[in-house]
Amino acid sequence: MMTVTRGLEGVVATTSSISSIIDDTLTYAGYDIDDLAKNASFEEVIYLLWHRQLPTALQLEELKKQLSENAALPQEVIEHFKMYPIQKVHPMAALRSAVSLLGLYDDEADLMDEESNYRKAIRLQAKMPAIVATFARVRKGLEPIAPRQDLNFAANFLYMLTGKEPEAIAIEAIDKALVLHADHELNASTFTARVCVATLSDVYSGVTAAIGALKGPLHGGANEAVMKMLTDIGTIENVDPYIRGKLENKEKIMGFGHRVYRQGDPRAKHLREMSKKLTELTGEPQWYDMSVKIEGIVTGEKKLPPNVDFYSASVYHSLGIDHDLFTPIFAVSRVSGWLAHILEQYENNRLIRPRAEYTGPGMQKYVPIDQRG
């Protein structure tokens, strides 16, 4: 008799030196997320996740240069977007396909040595903002905008999306969101990436698989679902009946609960703070006020605190970003963590292959088709 742990809850499936969640404290390579959220840029965090140490000024400059030099998409990928039924396609599906497609144009795609895998990590990380921004523009009939060498990672993303020089507050918000979403131990999409590359498949396959896992509303897709809920609720007066009604029907409230955190997700407070600031600035404080009211009810009734996806919704909305781009932005950040885990998996690889307890029919005898009733 096998013991089945549903959803692998509490199962320790690997060792990792990239990030940890211990007693509700999240660290990236030993640095508290609160410290990083206040002080670090996303580029520094990428370096930290990939090297387990903060970069020197010189190392950071070199990484920024490499990211910037590799930020543009091959024309073939841009052309491909124009062939999709682009109005109907979810941007996460487009992102999943575009990453897979990038692999076709990378001469090193199937090389497995450490140096070429690191080079692919740079190329893939660098191109993620352009994929999301290009898709978003092409579906509106707008021309794609090439990345600029003089802008940092967060600013470049906003610039490619809007074609305008982004404001400092918007750059700060995106940079912080990217820092907060970069890695999270063995979450579902990271585990997916590790399972994929543990067969010794390539980096592009690992990231493509991970994007598929992030897309679901129980994981990264929850941020878009939160915004839909806020829009459906519409007014502060509707919060109470809407949320209590859902809870009475035993429906889930998106953006709440977590498999690992019990007292609360340490990332949520940074996003809450940013949501307050941005919604005031845009003159739409209702999104923050409604969110706070929802939090009060859900924590009061269910003792479930908000997770990273809850306040990120009103933050991105305040920046004028299309709601279905929220999860792709998560992916632009999380690819840094996926890549760190993929490289770590290759370093000390063993095939990941658990067992299933069989619950199907007992032993049957094959019946020829003309004798089946």
Ligand X SMILES: O=C([O-])CC(=O)C(=O)O
258 part of the active site: yes
CB count, 10 Å around CB of 366?
A: 4
Distance of alpha carbon 160 from alpha carbon 146, whole angstroms: 7
Supply the minimum distance, in Å, between the C-beta of residue 128 and ligand X: 16
Taking the C-alpha atoms of residue 71 and residue 75, their distance in angstroms, rounded to an integer, is 12
Q: Between residues 194 and 258, which has the closer beta carbon with respect to ligand X?
A: 258
Catalytic residue among 181, 184, 219, 258: 258
Q: Examine residue 220 and tell whether it contacts ligand ACO (CB under 6 A).
A: yes
Residue 25 in the binding site for ligand X (CB under 6 A): no
- Site for ligand ACO contains 307 (CB under 6 A): yes
244 binds ligand X (CB under 6 A): no
Which entry of ligand X, ligand ACO, none binds 239, CB below 5 to 8 A by partner kind? none
Q: How far is CA 102 from the centre of its chain?
A: 19
Nearest distance in Å: CB 255, ligand ACO:
5
Kindly indicate which of the ranges 45-53, 119-127, 213-221, 237-245 contains the residues binding ligand ACO, using the contact rule CB under 6 A.
213-221
For ligand ACO, the closer CB: 275 or 307: 307
User: Is 80 known to be catalytic?
Assistant: no
Shortest gap between Cβ of 257 and ligand X (angstroms)? 10
- Applying CB under 6 A, does 7 fall inside the site for ligand ACO? yes
By CB under 6 A, tell whether 187 contacts ligand X.
Answer: yes
Find the shortest distance in angstroms from Cβ 257 to ligand ACO: 2
Please, which of residues 234-273 interact with ligand ACO by CB under 6 A? 252-259
- Contact predicate 322/31, CB 8 Å: no
19 lines the binding site for ligand X (CB under 6 A) = no
Residue 259 contacts ligand X per CB under 6 A: yes
Size, binding site for ligand X by CB under 6 A:
7
Binding to ligand X by CB under 6 A, coded x per residue (else -) over 302-341, reads: -----xx---------------------------------
Select from ligand X, ligand ACO, none the partner in contact with residue 218, using the beta carbon and a kind-dependent cut-off of 5 to 8 Å: ligand ACO
Q: Which residues bind ligand X (CB under 6 A)?
A: 184, 187, 258-260, 307-308
Catalytic residues: 258, 309
